[in-house]
Amino acid sequence: MTNLRAEGVSLGYDGLRVIEGLDLTLPDGKITAVVGPNACGKSTLLRGLARLHPLDGGRVTLDGADITQMPRRELARKVGMLPQSSIAPDGVRVAELVSRGRYPHQGWFGRHSSDDDAVVTTALESTGVAELADRPVAELSGGQRQRVWIAMVLAQQTDIVLLDEPTTFLDVRHQLDLLDLLTELNRDRGTTVAMVLHELNLAARYADHLVVMSAGRIVAEGAPSDVLTREVVDEAFGLQAQVVPDPVAGSPLVVPVGRYHSGA
Amino acid sequence: MTAVSTTSVTAIAGLRAVRRRRQVLVVTGMVVVVLAAGTGALLVGAAGLTPGQAILGALGIGDKGDVFIIQLLRLPRIEAAVVVGAAFGLAGALFQSTLRNPLASPDILGISSGASLGAVIGLLALGLSGVALSGLAFAGAGVVALAIWLLAWRKGLHSIRFVLVGVGFAYLCSSLVAWSMARVEENEAAAVLVWTVGSVSDIRGEQLAFVAAGTLALCAAVAVVSRNQGPLALGDDNARALGVHVDAARIGSLLLAVALVALATSAAGPIAFVALVAPAIARRLVNDGGAALAASAATGAALTLVADVVGQHGLLGVAAPVGIVTGLVGAPYLLWLLATNEKRSR
């Protein structure tokens, strides 16, 4: 049981406040999706939760303990984070990249143990990239590459995994693939997943807990079917939309109206 | 997510062993080059010695003249080239991997010129030598590094501005070195060569022992911090998410690299391009996406020694100091790197 929680956090860049006094608890063992318009602070919030961005106020706690009081390596054994658009170094191969996820578990001289090999192998297999182990990362397709990065975060063996827009640059089939993979992780290992997503309907379908943000604050949060109403979509995105049940999953499906096609 | 089969774990372990073997192979290859070039340099020269005379001379027995030639002329020069080359190669690898920019090597960024200027000031104005001289070289290199940091850092690691500011400092420091040399009354040609292009021909005795011991100590320190290089190469955010104190790790690596450059430069001057080229060759040979630190040090040693042998024995038509030869090899590489850099960056 690990609980990551933001308590009255304020975040910003160079004096420009993006988020002011925000509270959020990631439900343990669930998938949380954070959605919101561009520049609403959702990525900044995730970075703050992972201690990639300094807080201007408030605190982030893991099981009640302030994460800034924790050694970074200890935090990295409990909370994994995949930042937006990571770039692999030239020439690095899949297995080597994934094995860098073992860093927080290794001692001073960074020697790999046979345990590390087993964890790396599991991570490669559960993300379906085991047969690519000896391939240079640069030669892979976008979908494969994203799986490799997720394998690296898995090799970190954390109870909580944060992902900043993991589906960006993927076509719709690979987006579904990736979200299915994260669902498997969540169900099979009980990993708490929190991710920033752009695609509202996929977020509503895959998340247990949906957080809608706008202008640095949380507009609504809860089960997607409770949260994603036309009022909330209007408030957060300034968008007229109809919300109907997703014929496949039953989750809310946002159908935007726009200016030219409103005559039903 | 079923249990992992032992065969696939063995396969992953096997891949790791292959990469490791490749690193060892590259280092071994460079050591062989060093041994071959070193043997050649011991035997070839104005005083033609037979292999037997050379061995006896190296051991300090045999003809007094032979012992003098081997122990005081040829052997120190070889050792100096190896030590200084390894220091430059390792420093270059640290700079390039820590800053994630193949152009960000201490010679391009003016760190070497800063060290050279510090050493020249120490030598000419203050009459220093040994540890104090290296200290002043370190101060010179440190001042340039700090100035680049202050002027260009916020623009980002990959910014061309970062390199351009460094190039500006390189010119400034080289000009100041040349100016200081021009003001010296008993203007020795050899000293000018050391501080403007770099030479290993006059490093021996205590100075050599000091540089060698210092380089060895710094190599050991680098070995301790080197485990950060893997996560750091994935970018600041990934490195932090993996538990690295990014700023501390980066400053630590750069300080060690600056110290290596300062130590080598205080003895041999700013030998051009070794710090830029050696890591690039090493990384290409090792090709595992790592920083190739050990391979870079070995490549730097091999490159510098071979360049010195080539220069010393007049293969260019005249006897030239090592820095001229490395410049002739390194400059085209730099041009090639600049021409292809656009394509390589994704």
Q: How confident is the model at residue B31 (pLDDT cuts 50, 70, 90)?
A: very high
**Subunit contact A121:B4, Cβ cutoff 8 A:** yes
Token pair 């061995």 is found at B55
Which position has the higher pLDDT, B1 or B276?
A: B276
Q: What is the pLDDT of residue B3?
A: 55
ipTM of the complex, rounded to two decimals = 0.91
For A99-113, what is each residue's pLDDT tens digit? Answer: 999 999 987 666 777
Each residue's pLDDT tens digit, B197-220: 888 888 888 889 999 999 999 999
DSSP states of A213-238: EETTEEEEEE-HHHH--HHHHHHHH-
Direct distance between the N- and C-terminal alpha carbons of chain B, in angstroms, rounded to an integer:
33
Min Cα separation A140/chain B (Å): 13
Backbone angles phi, psi at B109, to 5 degrees: -80, 0
End-to-end CA distance of chain A: 49
As a whole number, mean pLDDT of residues B263-284 equals 90
**Interchain pair A156, B8: CB under 8 A:** no
Closest CA of chain B from A93, distance in Å: 7
Residues of A in contact with B9 (CB under 8 A): 114, 117-118, 121
Contact A34, A196 (CB under 8 A): yes
Tokens of A67: 């994460």
Instruction: Note the pLDDT of residue B156.
Output: 58
pLDDT of residue B42: 85
Helices (H), chain B: 6-43, 51-58, 64-68, 75-99, 111-120, 130-152, 160-183, 189-196, 205-225, 229-232, 236-241, 246-268, 274-286, 293-312, 322-344
Q: Do A73 and B243 touch (CB under 8 A)?
A: yes
pLDDT of residue B82: 96
Q: What is the pLDDT of residues A156-202, one digit of tens each?
A: 999 999 999 998 878 898 899 899 999 999 999 999 999 999 999 99
Fold of domain B22-324: ABC transporter involved in vitamin B12 uptake, BtuC (1.10.3470)
Domain boundaries, chain B: 22-324
Q: Judge: A112–B16 Cβ closer than 8 Å, yes or no.
A: yes
Query: What is the reported pLDDT for B341?
Result: 57
Q: Are B69 and B45 in contact (CB under 8 A)?
A: yes
Q: Which residues 6+ apart lie within 8 Å of B280 measured at CB?
A: B96, B102, B333, B337
Q: Establish, for the pair of chains A and B, how many residue pairs have beta carbons separated by less than 8 Å.
A: 124
Vertex B106, ends B105 and B107: CA angle to 5°? 95
Spatial separation of the C-alpha atoms in residues A62 and A69, rounded to whole Å: 10
The pLDDT score that the predictor gives to residue A263 is 59
Residue of B4, B16, B224 with shortest CB distance to A118 = B4
pTM: 0.88
pLDDT of A264: 52
Model confidence at B334, pLDDT cuts 50, 70, 90, reads confident
Where residue B188 falls among pLDDT bands split at 50, 70, 90? low
Does B330 have pLDDT greater than 90?
no
B229 pLDDT higher than 50: yes
